[in-house]
Amino acid sequence: MATALELIADNERTILIARNDYNYTDLYGSTHENAISDGDDKGKGQFGADGTIGSSIDINTRISNITKNHYDSLNGYGSTHKNAISDGDEKGKGQSGAAGTIGSTTDINIRKDNMGRNYYSELNEYGSTHKNAKSDGDEKGKGQDGAAGTIGSTTDINTRKDNMGRNYYNENDGYGVTNKNAISDGDERGKGQLEDNGTIGSLTDINTRKENLVKNKTYGPGKKSYPDFVI
C-alpha cells in the first residue's frame, strides 16, 4: 500500500506531465519535429543534408541579409571576382594578370598624376649612374664619376676651391712632422726638433730659454750642475 508521501508525489507528477508538451509517448530529441528546422519558431536543427537551419525568424533574417548582400552562393566574392580586380572601376584593386593595373580608378589616376610630377620614370630611373646623381658640374649630382672625377655639386666644388685657396697647405705641400713649418728652424712656426742636436721650440721659445739661462748664475751649462739627492 502506497504511503501518503508516495500518493502526493504521484499526484504532483501527473500535474507536471500535463503541463509538459513532451511525455513518455512523445519524447523530445534531435529527430523531434520541434527540434527540426521545418518552418516554425520551435526547431532550429538541420533535417537531412539539404535541409534549412534555424527557426522561421532565423531563416527570414538570413534571406533579408542575403538580399542586401551583392554576393551570394551563386556569385561568391573572391580574388578572381570582377569586383576584386582592378578593371577601371572603384570596386576592384587587385592586379589582373602579370601586366594588369593595380588599384581602383582613383588610385590609378592619383598615381598617374604623381608620376607626371616626378622627373624620373620607368624609362628614366634615378640611380647611382644617372646623370643627376653624378658630379658633372651642376647642382644636382654629387657622386664621383670614375676614380679621378670630382665630388659634390657646383657649389660644393667652388666652396672647396675657395677653402683650399685660403689654406697655406695643399696636396703638393702637405703639413706634417717634416714640413718646414713644423720644424724648429729659427722662425715662429715650427717647434719640432730637427734631428738629434737641433733646437726645440719657436724663435720666441728659444730666446726665452736663453734669457732664463742667463739669469741663472749658479746652475747651467759650464756652471755648477744641480745635484741629485739620494735618499
Within-domain flag for 126: no
Same domain, 24 and 58: yes
Residues 140 and 160 reside in one and the same domain: yes
> Within a domain: residue 218?
no
Which residues are CB-neighbours of 82 under 8 A, at least 6 positions away? Answer: 91, 92
Based on the fold, state whether residues 10 and 42 are members of the same structural domain: yes
Count: domains in the chain: 4
Domain contains 27: yes
pTM of the model: 0.41
Whether residue 14 lies inside any domain: the answer is yes
Phi then psi for residue 158, to 5 deg, are -65, -40
User: Is the pLDDT assigned to residue 122 strictly greater than 70?
Assistant: yes
Are residues 44 and 9 both part of a single domain?
Answer: yes
Could you tell me which residues come within 8 angstroms of residue 38 by beta carbon, excluding any fewer than 6 positions away? 47
Do 188 and 160 share a structural domain? no
Lowest-confidence segment of 21-30, 33-42, 78-87, 214-223 by average pLDDT: 214-223
pLDDT reported for residue 229? 62
58 and 109 both lie in a single domain: no
Q: Domain range spanning residue 200? A: 179-213
Average pLDDT on 49-65 reads 90
Does any domain span residue 125? no
Q: Is residue 12 part of a domain?
A: yes
Residue in the structure block whose three cell numbers are 598624376:
113
pLDDT tens string 175-196: 999 899 999 999 999 999 988 8
Report whether 187 contacts 169 (CB < 8 A): no
**Residue 146 sits in the same domain as residue 98:** no
Compute CA 128 distance to the chain's CA centroid, rounded to the nearest angstrom: 23
Q: Are both 36 and 55 inside the same structural domain? A: yes
d(CA 229, CA 174): 47
Instruction: Indicate whether 225 belongs to any domain.
Output: no
Residue 73 in domain: no
Same domain, residue pair 51 and 30: yes
